Amino acid sequence: MNLHTRPLRLEWLAYLLLILTTLFWGGNFVVGRAVHAEIPPLALAWWRWLVALLFILPFIVRPLWQARQIFISHWKLLSLMSLLGVTGFNTLVYLGLQSLPASNAILLLSACPVFILAFSWVLFGEKINQLQIAGMLVSLMGIIALVSKGSPLEVLNHLATGNGNLWVLSAVICWALYSALLRKRPTGLPGMAFFGLTVILGWLFLTPFYLYELLVLEQSLAFNTTSLLSIGYVAVFASIAAFLFWNKGVEILTPNRAGYFIHLIPVWGLLLASVFLGERLEAFHWLGVAFIFVGIWLATVLGRKQSG
């Protein structure tokens, strides 16, 4: 085996892992929409993270114990990140999918990179140039087109009608803020320990809301083949496997190169929504996605080149 074979194989392995990660994440939205009438949204989120936690618990007990002083020193930041990334993001997505087609939710979430850039600028003073600002504004136009169904003057009306857009936009904000805060992740906290800690804290934060749904709203989960398979998918594939695959892919390719694979999530999501849910894209979908992707291109690709 020559010296170039192994790195090339590793690179192809990274491509495969990152493609599978985006496929698993895209499928998460389709599952959330497919079972919206059978599994209450908070129940789906709560059981997802409980099952994921049970799977990873044997592997995180020792790293967490070794890193206990790090948690004690940074408990506020780690609690906030758990609240945003675990408690908030998927729960808000599942709430939105109660009334919003999966394709709409996926397209709205494709604007995340631009929101991450905005939060990095606001919170940490990361320098942005004119192209990146233009990208933010163009992506915002895409979001308005999606939310208003092509009628921009009706955007506030559509947000107020409880059709899921507000929930999903809140999820976008949660994930973007979580991603921006990753730069502050405590050093010395291994990746698996960080993941395990955020799952534990996020699941604990979610529990009171789940109990409210269960006891006050009287929305309970019926354990059957559909619910078990759905929870199994979002716990094992969209949570654990996606996390491990993504981290390995980033390790091989570097964060900047791996980051571009995020844009495959809406591609997979729309394809799966079309095949399994029979959803079809209308003119306003194409208009919205065009603005969002042009905005991402301006903000991330051209913008970084200009900064460089």
Mean pLDDT of 291-295: 81
Poorest-confidence range of 148-162, 178-192, 207-221, 255-269? 148-162
Q: Indicate whether 214 belongs to any domain.
A: yes
* Contact status, residue 256 vs residue 68, Cβ threshold 8 Å: no
- Residue 101: inside a domain: yes
Q: How many domains does the chain contain in total?
A: 1
What 8-state DSSP symbol labels residue 208?
A: H
Give the residue numbers spanning the domain of 157. 8-302
- The tens digit of pLDDT for each residue in 204-250 reads 999 999 999 999 999 999 999 999 999 999 999 999 999 889 888 88
pLDDT higher at 196 or 280:
196
pLDDT tens digits, residue range 12-38?
Answer: 898 899 999 989 999 999 999 999 999
Is 3 among the domain residues?
no
Please tell me the least confidently modeled range out of 24-38, 55-69, 89-103, 265-279. 265-279
**Angstrom distances, CA of residue 279 to CA of 149, 201, 262:** 15, 35, 22
Specify if 85 maps to a domain: yes
- Give a yes or no: residue 249 inside a domain: yes
What is the maximal distance between C-alpha atoms in the chain?
65
Q: Which residue has the higher pLDDT, 129 or 204?
A: 204
Mean pLDDT across the stretch 130-138?
Answer: 80
- Binned at pLDDT 50, 70 and 90, residue 3 comes out as very low
Nearest to 189 by CA among 73, 87, 57: 73
Considering the chain, what percentage of its residues have pLDDT values greater than 90? 48
**pLDDT per position as a tens digit, 260-275:** 777 778 888 888 998 9
Residue 292 pLDDT exceeds 50 = yes
CB 289 within 8 A of CB 143: no
Q: Global pTM?
A: 0.86
What does pLDDT average to over the chain?
86
